[in-house]
Every structure is written in structure tokens, then in C-alpha cells.
Structure 1
Amino acid sequence: MTLYCGCREMNRRSFLRTSGAVAILAATDVAGSESTAHAAALTQQARDALTPGEVISRMLAGNERFAAGNQKPRDFLAEQRASAAGQYPAAIALTCVDSRAPVEVICDLGIGDAFNARVAGNIVNDDILGSMEFACMVAGAKLVLVMGHTACGAVKGAIDDVVLGNLTGLVAKIRPAIRETAYKGQRTSANPEFVDQVARTNVTMAVKQIRERSPILREMETSGKIKVVGSMYDLATAKVTLV
């Protein structure tokens, strides 16, 4: 009987010690999670230490991970909490509204890593330019990335001379890229190769327009503070390539 009571007492003490250890570990995990959350978003120090070229390399590396199915494990809620008090994005991307081409996903970026200006056909307008100037001159972004994509519906609409409300004026901004695209094959929206060639030309023209229409961004690029680059995203391969 005494032995039984002793064992019961020992089990009780063991349980209390174990419970205490679990409590300590739980508290440590919470603190660790909080520390992780604070480190989850890009900090100003980390962003400012990057060169424009390094920002490009990181985005392309992220795309390689995405295309291979090896994205980084992310806690988006931790990133949200870490960036709630301030943001230090390294880039601003001008991309199409196409639902299949979200730059944050296809370049394996987190919350707070990049600004994203989206408009059908990734066209340049005054509001987009103002947003880019804010992102780079005010917020400190190092890269302006224009990203077009294959099988772009806005490009097809421009080739087909679509007339539809406000879309009419939007696709008109893409038509110069059609004229600038040297292509000897079938120049219709039914030809995927031609559509993609026009989309590529549209990207290079957008990069040129950014430099021409924004003295602020042009000066920042000339002084090496930022880079303005164009790219294409292939919907079939999930790959981003610079143009």
C-alpha cells in the first residue's frame, strides 16, 4: 500500500514537472513566433542593403522556385503583422490584370516585398507613373519591373480593334506595339506567336515610356539608384524572362 502511494506521489510530481516544462516551451514558442513575425516582412535595413540588380536576381530566383514547385514556406499572417506598422518594398511591378499572372505569387514574394500596379495590358499612364515615383523616390523601392505575359487578352483586343466602353481607349494604347512588331506571319489574334510578339514589344515600349515620361525615374536610374526592366511571363511554363 505504501509502495502504491509512493508511486502515485512520484507520478504526480513527474506530471507537475512535465507540465511545467510544457508551459515553458509553450511560452518560448509564443515568443519565438512573435520574433519570427517581426522578421517576416522585409525591413528597411535589409531592403536598403540590396542593389537594384540583387532585387532582380531575387525575383527571378523566386520565380524559379515557383516554377519548380519549391516556394518558400510562408506565414502570411505573420507577414501582415510584421508589415502593419511600416512597409519597405524592394520593387514596384507594372503587370496585367490577368488572374493567372499575380507577380507576388509567381515570383514567390511575401506581403510587403513589392508594390504592384495592375492594369489590363500593363500599359503606362500618368497615374501609374505617379505610383512608380512614389514607390521609388518616396518609399525607397530599387526596381521598376514591367511584366507582360503570353496569351494576353488586352493585346488580342488591340489586334482585333475592340470597341467596348472604356476598354476602347485602353487597347488603343497598345496598338502602337502592333505597328512596331516586325512579324511576317499571320498578324491576327488567332496566331499565338504574333500575340506574344506584340505583348513583348508592348513591354519594351512601356519601359521606354517610363524613362521618357518620368524625369524622376530617369534620373534615379541614371544615378544607379534604381533599374527599370521589362519581362515576360509564360503562362504555359510558369517562367519569367527579362526582355
Structure 2
Amino acid sequence: MSAQQVLQRFKAGNARFVAGRPLQQKHLQEVRATAAGQYPLASVVSCIDSRAPAEIVLDQGIGDLFNARVAGNIVNEDILGSLEFAHKVAGAKLLVVMGHTSCGAIKGACDGVELGNLTGLLGKIKPAVAKVPPDVLERSSKNAAFVEMVAENNVHLTVQTIRDKSPILREMEQKGEIMIVGAMYNIQTGKVTWYDSPPASTAKTQTSKT
């Protein structure tokens, strides 16, 4: 499957999920089918939040996705290395950065929370906070609209960070071997909104929604 075909498969899967008509996954059969090797279609960088499980909301099964889950769906060297394995070695075609609404990590970054090792993680989200125009007032988690602006910025910046810090993935995208896209999962409706993602050769930090 091409990256575009995988994306269309995910869109169809989410539509089934939202409609309450997911496929009947045959997990034990999938376990047997993938025991000898794995050939996932995509990798998904998503939040650790228990309400946003990628396989379920995209209606996929065992063996379909590489999952990189971390609070705030950010990336570091370990996650970048994992993604390079997923795409360069294992052949996944689509790379998705999926944020979600009402994200606790985003709220923590908005409020400047400091808590042990979480402090450094939230620091990686602060550039997304800074990108919200200064005329937006009440710049804290009390402002739901502000939180969602930061969450969207964070998805776009994570996509850009992947391109900037992984020459391997950037080159694969430039050659058309993979596609990198952003997305936002709504925890109230179950719907995934997908973002335009220009190719690495022309990508800018700001992208627009589809």
C-alpha cells in the first residue's frame, strides 16, 4: 500500500469508529499471523493519555501500527530512532503525529507546571505555547480555546522537529517513500481531524487543516 492509501484506510477506520460500526477484529488470528514477523502500515506518535488509543480510534488491528506514546506527543532522540527503524528498516509508509483535545500535558505546559522529570518534557511543548498570537488573552489551561491552539501548534511543531532532526526520515519523505502528517483526536466525539502536511522540501512550521 502507498502512504496515501494507508491514510485513506485510517480515515475510513476512524469514520467507522465514530459511527459505532468498527470492524470485528480477530485478535488471536492476528497474533498468529504476525508471530513470524511484523509489517506495520504506519507509525503513530501519540499521547500517553488513556482516552486516545490509536488502534481503536483508527479501527486497526494487531500488527498494523508502530506506536510511540508519550505525554504531549513530542519526540526525542529515542523516539526518532524508533521511527527511523519503523520506516527505514521495517518499511512503514505513513508517519502520523496525533495530538488530542483537552490534553493534560498541553495544559501543564500552558500553566508552567514543574514536577520532577515531567518538567523537561513540558519544556518541549512550550514553543507551541509561544506560537499562539500574543493578543490571545488568558494564556492558561482555564482557557479551553487557548489549550486547543497550543495542542494544534504542538502537532505541527512535532512534525517539523521530525523533519529537522531526522535526516533519514526527511530524505525518505522527499523521495516519496513515506508521508508525514499531523492529526488531532477529539476525545468528546471520537473524530480525528487530519492536517495538511507539505513535503519536506517545501514544509513550513505553519500548516493548515483539511
Give the TM-score normalised by structure 1: 0.79
Residues 200-222 of structure 1 show CA distances to partners (whole Å, capped at 9, x for unaligned) of: 00000000010011000001000
- Secondary structure at the residue paired with 2:75? coil
In the alignment, what sits opposite 2:132?
A: 181
In the alignment, what sits opposite 1:19?
A: none
C-alpha deviation, 1:181, in angstroms? 1.6
Q: Identify the match of residue 222 of structure 1 among 163, 174, 178.
A: 174
In the alignment, what sits opposite 2:153?
A: 201
- Secondary structure at the residue paired with 1:206? helix
Q: Within 2, Cα distance between the matches of 1:188 and 1:86?
A: 46
Q: Within 1, Cα distance between the matches of 2:115 and 2:138?
A: 25
Residue pairs, 1:8-87, within 5 angstroms: 50-87=1-38
Structure 1's unaligned 5+ residue stretches are: 1-49
Residues 49-85 of structure 1 show CA distances to partners (whole Å, capped at 9, x for unaligned) of: x111111110111000001101001111111111111
- Secondary structure at the residue paired with 2:97? strand
Higher share in helix: 1
C-alpha deviation, 1:185, in angstroms? 3.8
After superposition, the CA RMSD in angstroms is 0.8
Amino acid at match of 2:54: V
8 Å CA contact retained: 2:84, 2:168: yes
Amino acid at match of 1:152: C
Moved over 3 A (4+): none
Determine if the alignment matches structure 1 residue 123 to structure 2 residue 74. Answer: yes
Amino acid at match of 2:147: V
In the alignment, what sits opposite 1:238?
A: 190
Give the TM-score normalised by structure 2: 0.91
Q: Within 2, Cα distance between the matches of 1:90 and 1:181?
A: 34
Residue pairs, 1:139-154, within 5 angstroms: 139-154=90-105
| Residue correspondences, number | 194
C-alpha deviation, 1:104, in angstroms? 0.4
Q: Percent identity?
A: 57
Residues 108-134 of structure 1 show CA distances to partners (whole Å, capped at 9, x for unaligned) of: 000000100000000110011000000
Amino acid at match of 2:157: M
Q: Within 1, Cα distance between the matches of 2:158 and 2:30?
A: 31
Q: Within 1, Cα distance between the matches of 2:148 and 2:177?
A: 31
Amino acid at match of 1:51: S
